Structure 1
Amino acid sequence: MSIAAVPTDKTALLIVDLQNDFLHPDGAYGRAGQSVPEIAALPARIKPLAAALRAAGGLVVSTQFTLVPGRGGEPMISPHLKQLRPFLKKGDFLPGAWGHQLVDALQPADVSVEKIAYSAFYMTRLEWVLRKTGIERLIACGIVTNGGVASTVRDAHVREFEITVLTDGCAAFTPAVHATAIEALRPVARITTVAEVLAEIRAEAGA
């Protein structure tokens, strides 16, 4: 199925967790040495698509992983995440802080939504925003393929959004994990590339 099945003005690029604290060398993950080239390459690859979709009347939505500050400003971190990423500390993924923000290369998003779990739909206003803006189709990109992306895509599917996943617009911490996650999403999403969707948007705009 091509993007032409749903008009671009009812389509949103859903950028999952491409934030400074994940990607920038000075962010929480960068300081801890938790970065890989496949993730670092995403913003530059996605940027032309975001620009083209917006120019054609579509929406760019950024979901941003958030560590909500609790007493004394200490972040409320789930036990499994604390075990997985023990380097996370006070100030990381803090709402409104530099590390919490979408990376500069993809600024500004039309809509930003804070998220506290893998899925961007879990206890957030994302679905409300999408319905209010008439969005019927989502083009998903971001990190990580097997975590935030996969959970969000599956939740979009059960909410009956038409969903596309950009195989080269997502990444995980290893290529093998990324590839496995992409294959697992084929039953619920269209799997394609940034270049193919970009070509479809441009073709529709020129029609």
Structure 2
Amino acid sequence: MPSPIKTLFLVMDMMNDLVAEDGFSAQTYAVQVKERGVLEKTRAAIAAARAAGALVGYVRVGFSADYREAPANSPIFSGARKNGIFQLGTRGTEIHPALAPQPGDFDIVKHRVSPFYATSLEAILRAHRIERIVMSGVSTNGVVHSGAREAHDRDYDAVILEDCCAGVSADEHMHALACLGRYARIVSSTEFDWAA
């Protein structure tokens, strides 16, 4: 068994509502996820992380059935209420089956874009003395962008697995990455050394 390293791999918002081919976002995010091979690459990255002894956490956006946590004035989350998506306890907020969590993985539920805001993430990071946060997910300009900036400002070594991320479009993804290089290392999942 490899010795534990102080790394947490965050697989973010890879939920059926966003990335499943039959999910709510089948014509947007799911298209990019399929074209870029994000599910397959993320599955391989999760396996590599586990083999190196890194911890794995799944970040999911979700709300109660009455959307009590959703801000009415949010351009993003008012749409969730209107379209009946991101309801906790439904298939839509489950992690895509290709990336199924294992016992011992962290389930981090958020009610905003950021994986840090009002979630269990900070407590997990402190309890396990994490030094490096590796990130992937959908969308690149949403949760990944927000997570990288906040990880940077909390003095973590932030890493983004570029080929394990997607936006609504290829342009959106690339524009987000153009900004993120200031806050995180951007690498390919096949080139990243989990044990380093």
Same fold (TM over 0.5): yes
1:1-207 equivalences in 2 (<5 Å): 9-30=5-26, 33-40=27-34, 41-70=37-66, 76=70, 78-79=72-73, 80-81=75-76, 88-89=83-84, 92-109=85-102, 110-197=105-192, 200-201=193-194, 204=195
Deviates more, 1:143-152 or 1:92-101: 92-101
> In the aligned structure 2, how far is the partner of 1:98 from the partner of 1:164?
29
Q: Which has the higher Rg, Structure 1 or Structure 2?
A: 1
Judged with a 3 Å threshold, the aligned counterparts in structure 2 of structure 1 residues 186 and 68 are, in CA distance, closer, same or farther, namely same
Supply the AA of the counterpart residue of 2:124: V
> In the aligned structure 2, how far is the partner of 1:174 from the partner of 1:81?
17
Structure 1 segments unaligned to the other structure (5+ residues) = 1-6
Supply the AA of the counterpart residue of 1:111: F
TM-score normalized by the length of structure 1: 0.82
> In the aligned structure 1, how far is the partner of 2:151 from the partner of 2:65?
28
Aligned residues: 189
Q: CA deviation at 1:57?
A: 1.0
TM-score normalized by the length of structure 2: 0.86
Q: Which stretches of structure 1, 4 residues or more, deviate above 6 A after TM superposition?
A: none
Q: SS where residue 108 of structure 2 aligns?
A: strand
Identity of aligned residues (%): 30
Structure 2 segments unaligned to the other structure (5+ residues) = none
> In the aligned structure 1, how far is the partner of 2:7 from the partner of 2:109?
20
CA RMSD of aligned residues (A): 2.3
